[in-house]
Amino acid sequence: MAKYYVNNSAQVNGDHEVHKDGCYWLTLVHSKKDLGYHSNCKSAVLEAKKTYMKSNGCIHCSKDCHTS
């Protein structure tokens, strides 16, 4: 199980990226929401979508959930 976070700030395309704890890109996020522990990025993205419908996995740490 890994801890996941969603960026509170949307990217230019409107996506809120979901990052796994330890991701380099997470260190650049100024404001994030703790999504808790998940066995995979798919359940973390589903959790993020409860807050931000347009959530997407980080291409670096959650590649299986990156769609755009």
How many CB atoms are closer than 10 A to CB 41? Answer: 23
pTM over 0.75: yes
pLDDT the model gives residue 50: 98
Query: Would you place residue 67 in the very low, low, confident or very high pLDDT band (cuts 50, 70, 90)?
Result: confident
| Parent domain of 42 | 2-65
How many structural domains comprise the chain?
A: 1
CA count, 13 A, side-chain hemisphere, 28: 7
H/E element, 16 = strand 16-20
For residue 68, pLDDT beyond 80: no
Q: What is the largest CA-CA distance in the chain?
A: 30
Q: What is the dihedral of CA 29, 42, 12, 21, to 10 degrees?
A: 10
User: Pick from 64, 39, 61: which is nearest to 6 by CA?
Assistant: 61
18-64 pLDDT, tens digit per residue, is: 999 999 999 999 999 999 999 999 999 999 999 999 999 999 999 99
